[in-house]
Amino acid sequence: MSYLDASPTPFHAAATAAARLVDEGGFEIVTEHEPFPTSHGRYAVLRDGALVAWVQPEGAARHTPWRIIGAHTDSPTFQVKPHPDVVKAGWQLLGVEPYGPPIYNSWLDRDLGLAGRVVVRDPAGPGGMRVELFDDRRALLRLAQLAIHLDRGVNERGLQLNPQQHLVPLWGVGDAAASFTAYLGEQVGAAEGDILGFDVSLRDTQPAALLGRDGDLLASPRLDNLASCHAAVEALLAAAVVDGGDRTACRPAIVLFDHEEVGSRSERGAASPLLGSILERAAGGDREDYWRALAGSVVASADMAHATHPNYVEMAEPAHQVRMHGGPVLKVHRELRYASDGRGIAALRLAAEQADVPLQVFVSRSDLPCGTTIGPITAGQLGVTTVDVGAPMLSMHSARELTGVPDQQAYAALLAAFLRPA
| 173 touches 90 (CB < 8 A) | yes
H-run or E-run covering 135: strand 129-141
Per residue in 358-398, pLDDT tens? 999 999 999 999 999 999 999 999 999 999 999 999 999 99
The pLDDT of residue 242 is 65
Instruction: Say how far apart CA 234 and CA 418 lie, in whole Å.
Output: 12
| 192 touches 121 (CB < 8 A) | no
| 86 touches 95 (CB < 8 A) | yes
Q: Using alpha carbons only, how large is the chain's radius of gyration in Å?
A: 22
H-run or E-run covering 281: helix 274-283
Evaluate if residue 339 carries a pLDDT over 80: yes
Instruction: Say how far apart CA 377 and CA 87 lie, in whole Å.
Output: 42
> In order of start, what are the domains of the chain with their CATH numbers?
2-75+221-419 (3.40.630.10), 77-204 (2.30.250.10)
Per residue in 41-55, pLDDT tens? 999 999 999 999 999
Distance of CA 77 to the CA centre of its chain: 12
Mean pLDDT within 155-167: 96
- Strand boundaries in 205-339, DSSP class E: 209-211, 217-220, 251-257, 298-302, 305-306, 329-331
Cα angle at 209 between 206 and 215, to 5 degrees? Answer: 155
